[in-house]
Structure 1
Amino acid sequence: MPLIKGRGAPSNVGSSRFSLPARQVDGDWMDFRLEDEDAPPPLRTTITEERARTIITRNTSPDVGFDQSINAYRGCEHPRNGCN
């Protein structure tokens, strides 16, 4: 699958920390678009002001040593999976 520049995590590399199920890439609508028009136009960043109910989020993951954390961002553009 080709990388889409300028938006979130450009790939979903398997975790070296957890055993994740493997999946087979079966293509999507972008495959046809890339063949038809060579390259997609660059995606634009949008900034939206939001009023959050709370900045505290609760963690229930057994591998995290705390049950609450602060997430000041909702979504992002850095290459990392798991942004909300």
Structure 2
Amino acid sequence: AARPEVANANSANAFVSFHFDSSDVNNVASGYTCYFYHPGDSKQLASSVNQQMTNLPLKSRGVEFGNFLVIRDNSVPAILIE
């Protein structure tokens, strides 16, 4: 839980966590999903970031609720891009 603590302790305006997955089989994992835990500002941030990322050559898998500690334990708007 160190990452949320750093954001909270430093009065961050927002918290964005990037996770990069891989697969042993080519083309099995592709694209990205923007996860939020808290509705409101976090969901709005996830939607805005997802919209901006549509210009990238990656498949958007959309905006989803995610019960991940790294975004759940933040007191600022927080998203996870995976």
More strand by share: 2
Q: Normalization by structure 1: what TM-score?
A: 0.22
Structure with higher RCO (Cα < 8 A, 6+ apart)? 2
More helix by share: 2
- Give the number of the structure whose alpha-carbon radius of gyration is greater: 1
Q: Normalization by structure 2: what TM-score?
A: 0.23
